[in-house]
Amino acid sequence: MRDGRNVIQGNAVIPLTDGDAVTCRGKIVFLVPVTPYTTERMMVAYDSDREGYRSVRIKQRGFRIAGFGKTTRDVFPRFEPESEHYQESAGRETRCDSRGDFEFSGIADGEYFVTTAITWRDYGSTPDGGALMSRVSVAGGRTAKVVLAP
């Protein structure tokens, strides 16, 4: 995670059936470089290394799937084998603002995974929402835009 001149800007949102939406407001967004290990994690968690969504309702049905990051462990079981180095120092994190927007600046040229979890409960019901992931590439001091959505 060297410093660089690139910026990654994004938004994370889960549309609801009534036309409304839930954003990542106040939630942590993670940025990790694409490596063989992180690619394997994304393939296990999302069945893709490009983009994905994993509903919290899968856990409610009793399936064991891989988790990602510090805030999604309550949504998904831990990835095994776990890498302490990965959890402690593999990437960067930021928080979504009130509109669900986020930004990482000073990013080196390369490819990265951007992930977050958006979860909620309606009137004490079972949890809803899930974890979102997208792969993004930056180079040449440019700004890349990404939307995390199912």
The pLDDT tens digits of the residues spanning 88-139 come to: 556 899 999 999 999 999 999 999 999 999 988 877 777 889 999 999 999 9
Q: Is the pLDDT of residue 61 over 60?
A: no
Can you give the pLDDT at residue 91? Answer: 84
Half-sphere exposure (Cβ direction) of 27: Cα atoms closer than 13 Å: 27
Can you give the pLDDT at residue 123? Answer: 76
Q: Is the pLDDT of residue 63 over 50?
A: no
3 state DSSP class of 18: coil
What's the rounded mean pLDDT across residues 34-62?
Answer: 81
Kindly state the tokens that stand for 112: 């990265």
pTM for the model stands at 0.82
Closest residue by Cα to residue 118 from 149, 87, 94, 77: 149
* 112 or 43: which leads in pLDDT: 112
* 86 or 34: which leads in pLDDT: 34
Mean pLDDT, the chain, rounded, equals 83
The rounded distance, in Å, linking the Cα atoms of 133 and 104 is 15
Share of the chain above pLDDT 70, in %: 77
